[in-house]
Amino acid sequence: MSDINMETENTWCPGCGNFAIEAVTKKVIKKIGRNKTAITAGIGCHAKIIDYVNVNSFYGLHGRPVSLAVGIKLANPELSVLAFSGDGDSLNEGISHLIHAAKRNSDITVVIHQNRNFALTVKQFTASSPKGFVSNSSPEGNVEEPLNTLEVANSAGATFISRSFSGDIEHLQETMEKAVEHKGFSLIEVLQSCPAWYDTNSYYRENSYKMEKVPKNPDKKIREWNYDGEGKIPLGVFKKQEKPTYEEKMARKGKKVSVEEVLKSKI
Ligand code: SF4
């Protein structure tokens, strides 16, 4: 592999927040080294990142980028592994994988492209769509409360939780670098506009602010924005904790078990 760019035609819509995520991802991977990095994606607009970034990658089933990343990291702990996922991919189809990876403290980085709708399938509501959201699966408006992504990760035990905005490339790069550097499970929620189905660019630009430091009370800070139009939106790192990683705990279990031993076992 000689270059991080692919020649594949980019089919994202003009103005989509995915472009910023792609650009920052390439910068971050260049710093780590392409041969030391692997990325995964699920299904959705976000997943096309696999077609545009020339690095070891795995295009998975819907909702499975996190479980794939956990497996890759366990097999080769030397790699930096990033799982790219959409809100529908990780908070609807794949929510159990997100929760368990956070609980295990698997040393991976999950990047959530938060556009708050199933965009590739032309606008259905997801778990994080706002109440009242009119879509092809909620023509009279979504009746459900939106799920707070960071609260889900926090309650599952994630050791690094952050949020950025695709309209602020510098902040996005800084936050993604911190997430990748963290030893343990790290999550970065990237608020992104979907100009085709849910154009939130001005709303995020006008209603977000950057936190100056990691808050003393992350639980409270995480709940400051309710995803439903109330409250200002904090950006930055909400939580950073040191704990043994899943890979370390698995390695400590001791001797390797051969396939023959597993087959002979009476479990
Ligand atoms: Fe981006 Fe939305 Fe277009 Fe998908 S449908 S490429 S998320 S603007």
pLDDT, position 254: 57
User: Residue 109: enclosing H or E segment and its boundaries?
Assistant: strand 109-114
For 18-264, give the CATH class: alpha beta
Whether 193 is in the pocket of ligand 1, judged by its Cβ within 6 Å, is no
119 lines ligand 1 (CB under 6 A): yes
DSSP state of 248: H
Side chain identity, residue 11: T
Is the C-beta atom of 110 inside 6 A of ligand 1? no
The neighbouring-strand residues paired with 99 are none
Atom 3, ligand 1: residue with shortest CA distance: 13
Q: Would you state the pLDDT for residue 255?
A: 57
Instruction: State the distance from the centre of ligand 1 to the C-alpha of 208, rounded, in angstroms.
Output: 21
Contact between 165 and 171 under an 8 Å Cβ cutoff? The reply is yes
Cα distance between residue 234 and residue 55, in whole Å:
32
Look at residue 243 in the predicted model and tell me its pLDDT: 97
H helix intervals, the chain = 18-32, 49-52, 65-75, 87-88, 95-104, 149-156, 169-181, 201-207, 218-222, 246-252, 259-264
Sequence spans of domains, the chain:
18-264
> Does residue 190 contact residue 200 with C-beta atoms inside 8 Å?
no
Query: Residue 263 has what pLDDT?
Result: 72
Q: Which long-range contacts (CB under 8 A, 24 or more apart) does 219-227 make?
A: 219/154, 222/148, 222/150, 222/151, 222/154, 222/161, 223/148, 223/151, 226/146, 226/148, 227/116, 227/128, 227/130, 227/146, 227/147, 227/148
Query: Which atom of ligand 1 lies at the shortest distance from residue 195's CA?
Result: 8
What does pTM read for this prediction? 0.94
Q: Which of 49, 123, 194 to mutate to test the pocket of ligand 1 (most atoms within 8 A of CB)?
A: 194
**Which residue, by CA, sits nearest to atom 1 of ligand 1?**
16
Q: Which of 9, 22, 45, 136 to mutate to test the pocket of ligand 1 (most atoms within 8 A of CB)?
A: 45
User: pLDDT 10s digit of each residue in the chain, 267 long?
Assistant: 469 999 999 999 999 999 999 999 999 999 999 999 999 999 999 999 999 999 999 999 999 999 999 999 999 999 999 999 999 999 999 999 999 999 999 999 999 999 999 999 999 999 999 999 999 999 999 999 999 999 999 999 999 999 999 999 999 999 999 999 999 999 999 999 999 999 999 999 999 999 999 999 999 999 999 898 778 999 999 999 999 999 999 887 755 666 676 677 655
Task: Give the per-residue pLDDT at 52.
Answer: 98
Q: From the alpha carbon of 18, which atom of ligand 1 is closest?
A: 1
- Strand-pair partners of 135: 138
C-beta separation of 99 from 152 below 8 A? yes
Ligand 1 centre distance from Cα of residue 196 (Å): 6
The candidate with the shortest Cα–Cα distance to 203, out of 112, 111, 85, 116, is 116
Which residues, 6 or more positions from 222, have their beta carbon under 8 angstroms from its beta carbon?
A: 148, 150, 151, 154, 161, 238, 239
Residue nearest ligand 1's atom 2 by CA: 194
